[in-house]
Amino acid sequence: AFKELVFSGVQPTGNLHLGNYLGAIKRFVEMQARDAQCLYCVVDMHAITLWQDPAALKGQIREVTAAFLAAGIDPKRSIVFNQSQVPQHAELAWIFNCVARLGWLNRMTQFKDKAGKDRENASVGLYAYPVLMAADILAYRATHVPVGEDQKQHLELTRDIAQKFNNDFSDSIAAHGHDAGDGFFPVTEPLIGGPAARVMSLRDGTKKMSKSDASDNSRINLTDDADAIAAKVRKAKTDPDALPSEVAGLSGRPEADNLVGIFAALKDVSREDVLRDYGGAQFSAFKGALVELAVETLAPLGAEMKRLVADPAEIDAVLADGAERAEAIAAPTLDAVKDIVGF
């Protein structure tokens, strides 16, 4: 048995980008070195909270799976799977819909951003998304969840749901022999951090790099080739000043801060380390070094993704095996939850 259980997910919504890699997928790979069972999920049920073309979705699911594998997630050691193939996610989400409070969901800022002005016309699924996310995590009683900074509020909601379930059903949890001393569900630790917990758009340092930005130049896609990566880095917005020699000098300079953070994360060093080498340099020089580093990491990753996507049978076999192993963990959790609730 492992000491920790790690869960995280990525939506198959197309345009996988550098923010997804540095804020999430690269860190998923690193978690495999811990004493942990890691589960990495392609969360298609989250994806359909916004309209997805049915003819494209399967390809998008395979593309995220390919990104996981190309980045170095080992499908023998970790469990790589697709959310909709494991029915316990939806089942537990319903029970959690009856635990979570409306007031909690009303505070979720991502819903407000994604629903936009026409909130009356947003799907109920988009609103309940964070409850499904709690179910994704707690179906495995995950102890740690590596995510980007944008998921912080949703992770807090997951903790609130776990605690409320543990409290509301404390007697029943004990009566069924499921209380190891601290309730049935763990209070999951979010792992948010590193220099790229929030990668910003290359065109506007105040917006996060995102799959849905209309400008393709705003993000580096994981399938971009060396020329595209170079062009986007060179076009990235900057200010006219040289790089500062200390991190404090990045405050009030979001575009500079973003490029330094990306460089640091790609190189596995801190912002301090980067500025020790490049403090005083002009952006033209720094961008040259960043292009080299980004191409070195991302060009082989993109090429391997394309190779894997070309053989869907191999990817589908990984997902089928992963679903079976995931369900073997989630099914006993759901059996216990049903006993606890009184079903």
Supply the residues annotated as catalytic. 114, 208, 211
Q: Measured between alpha carbons, how far is 66 from 115 in angstroms, rounded to an integer? A: 29
Q: Which of 83, 143, 151, 238 forms a contact with ligand ADP (CB under 6 A)?
A: 151
Q: Kindly tell me which residue out of 5, 24, 80, 340 binds ligand ADP, with binding defined by CB under 6 A.
A: 24
User: Is the Cβ–Cβ distance between 9 and 83 less than 8 Å?
Assistant: yes
Which residue lies nearest Na ion, judged by its C-beta? 150
For residue 28, give every residue at least 6 positions away whose Cβ sits within 8 Å of its Cβ, in sequence order, or none: 6, 8, 38, 40, 68, 71, 73, 78, 146
Q: With contacts defined by CB under 5 A, how many residues of the chain interact with Na ion?
A: 1
303: left (phi > 0), else alpha (psi -120 to 50), else beta?
alpha
The reply, when asked if residue 11 is annotated as ligand binding, is yes
Pick 148 or 322: Cβ nearer ligand ADP: 148
Using CB under 6 A, pick the residue from 66, 99, 100, 209 that binds ligand ADP.
209
**Candidate segments 62-70, 79-87, 142-150, 256-264, binder of Na ion by CB under 5 A:** 142-150
Is-contact 10 29, C-beta < 8 A?
A: no
* Residue selected from 148, 183, 194, 244 as contacting ligand ADP according to rule CB under 6 A: 148
Of 91, 150, 216, 316, the one binding ligand ADP by CB under 6 A: 150
Does 205 interact with ligand ADP (rule: CB under 6 A)?
no
148 vs 195, beta carbon nearer Na ion: 148
Which residues have CB under 8 Å from 83's CB, separation 6+? 9, 41, 42, 43, 44, 45, 46, 89, 136
The token duo for 108 is 């979720």
Strands 189-191 and 36-42: unpaired
Instruction: For ligand ADP, give the closer residue by CB, 114 or 176.
Output: 114
SS3 116: coil
Between CA 259 and CA 237 the distance in angstroms is 10
39: contact with ligand ADP by CB under 6 A? no
Half-sphere exposure of 55 (CA within 13 A, CB side): 0
Span 320-339, contacts to ligand ADP by CB under 6 A: none
Q: Look up residue 14 and give its two tokens.
A: 């197309």
Q: Which of 229, 230, 216 is nearest to 302 (CA)?
A: 229
Cβ 261 to ligand ADP, closest distance in Å?
Answer: 9
Give the residue with the Cβ less far from Na ion, 32 or 153. 153
Q: Residue 202 interacts with ligand ADP (CB under 6 A)?
A: no
Residue 211 binds which entry of ligand ADP, Na ion, none, CB below 5-8 Å type-dependent = ligand ADP
The answer to whether the annotation marks 20 as part of a ligand binding site is yes
Q: Does the annotation list 284 as a binding residue?
A: no
Strands 144-146 and 79-82: unpaired
Tell me, what DSSP letter sits at residue 202? S
Q: Is 145 in the site for ligand ADP (CB under 6 A)?
A: no
* Lookup: tokens for 297: 């990491």
Annotated binding residue 19? yes
Return the bridge partners of 294, or none.
none
Is 224 assigned a ligand-binding role in the annotation? Answer: no
- Which of the ranges 12-20, 75-83, 97-105, 144-152 carries the binding residues for Na ion, by CB under 5 A? 144-152
Angstrom distance (rounded) from CA 51 to CA 123 = 9
Q: Which residues are annotated as a binding site?
A: 11-13, 19-20, 136, 148-150, 199, 208-212
Q: Which residues are annotated as a binding site for ATP?
A: 11-13, 19-20, 148-150, 199, 208-212
| Binding site as annotated, residues for L-tryptophan | 136
Chain residues binding Na ion by CB under 5 A are 150
Binding-site ranges for ligand ADP (CB under 6 A): 10-11, 13, 19-20, 23-24, 147-148, 150-151, 196-199, 208-211
